[in-house]
Amino acid sequence: MNQSKAWKWARRAVWATFLAVAAIGCNPLNLAGFIFARPDKVPAPHPLAFAKDGPKKDKEEIVVALLPQVAPGSNSQFATVPNELADKLAKQLPELAKENKDKKKVKVLSQAQVDKFKMANPTWKRMSPGEIGQKLGADFVLEIWLDKMRLYQPGSLNAVYEGRAEVQVSVYEIGTDGGEQKDKYTLPFSFPRTSVRSAEALPESTFKSQFIESLATEIAHMHVDHQPSANIADGR
């Protein structure tokens, strides 16, 4: 069936529904609003938000520090992924908050700031995420653990792209006495979600960049409300 015929039958189906509902006493316009209504935004499962009765409830800006790292033994091609992922999240999280017209702004500390702190504190690996967040002046810390990453379908001899990652995120809320873990979740990630791509279609560097961008989007959606159509545009 071509596109014009498909639209023709779709219009007929809609009008038939309106007439049937009108016949039993319902307002077709109300029905149209019900059928086509979409939620303004999808709530984030693990929002970065202050307690309504907490000491920071009147703070206008939420400061977030990111601590991404790759599991030991990961392929060397993923060595730069933590910083690349952090850079994309540092852009996406504030943008989502702005798009939602949230009253509180979201500010993500740059990886340059985090790296500077690490260089100034050689023992930082022995610090807890809460302690690191407190010293950085953050309100929340996202500790992101990246494991089992791959770009290619196993057995395809690098001829087919099928990105995968096992991601674990721990959320720490920072207070005056340090920080404590607020949330923790595992995110099984795949890109593309329901298909594979030929490696001949685009360079590995391009696919890897899309892989990281999509991963950043999924993590960002876990923490900031987003538009319901946001997952459509990324081609997943």
- Whether pLDDT at 161 is above 50: yes
Q: What pLDDT is attached to residue 31? A: 46
Percent of the chain at pLDDT exceeding 70: 80
Q: What pLDDT is attached to residue 185? A: 97
Q: Which two tokens stand for residue 157?
A: 């001899």
- Whether pLDDT at 67 is above 50: yes
CB 138 within 8 Å of CB 129: no
Domain ranges of the chain: 1-36, 38-223
Q: What pLDDT is attached to residue 21? A: 44
pLDDT tens string 39-59 = 578 899 999 999 888 888 889
- Whether pLDDT at 110 is above 50: yes
**191 vs 231, more confident:** 191
**CA distances, 100 to each of 61, 86, 138, 226 (Å):** 15, 21, 22, 7
pLDDT tens string 166-178 = 999 999 999 877 7
Q: What pLDDT is attached to residue 180? A: 83
pLDDT tens string 9-45 = 545 554 455 444 444 455 554 544 444 545 578 899 9
- What are the beta bridge partners of residue 68? 144
How many CB atoms neighbour CB 5 within 10 A? 9
> Considering only the top CATH level, what class is 38-223?
alpha beta
3-state secondary structure of 6: helix
Q: Rounded distance, CA 159 to CA 30, Å?
A: 52
Q: What pLDDT is attached to residue 99? A: 87
**CA distances, 224 to each of 44, 106, 117, 134, 181 (Å):** 5, 9, 26, 22, 18
- Whether pLDDT at 223 is above 70: yes
3-state secondary structure of 195: coil
In this prediction, residue 121 has a pLDDT band, given cuts at 50, 70 and 90, of very high
Least confident of 154-158, 162-166, 174-178: 174-178
In this prediction, residue 233 has a pLDDT band, given cuts at 50, 70 and 90, of very low
Torsion angle, alpha carbons of 221, 226, 229, 234, to 10: -40
Task: Spell out the SS3 assignment of 10-60.
Answer: HHHHHHHHHHHHHHCCCCHHHHHHHHHCCCCCECCCCCCCCCCCCCCCCCC
Q: What pLDDT is attached to residue 61? A: 95
Q: Which two tokens stand for residue 19?
A: 């007439």
- What are the beta bridge partners of residue 144? 68, 169
Mean pLDDT of 200-215: 96
**192 vs 7, more confident:** 192
CB 170 within 8 Å of CB 181: yes
Q: What pLDDT is attached to residue 39? A: 57
Q: Rounded distance, CA 73 to CA 178, Å?
A: 31
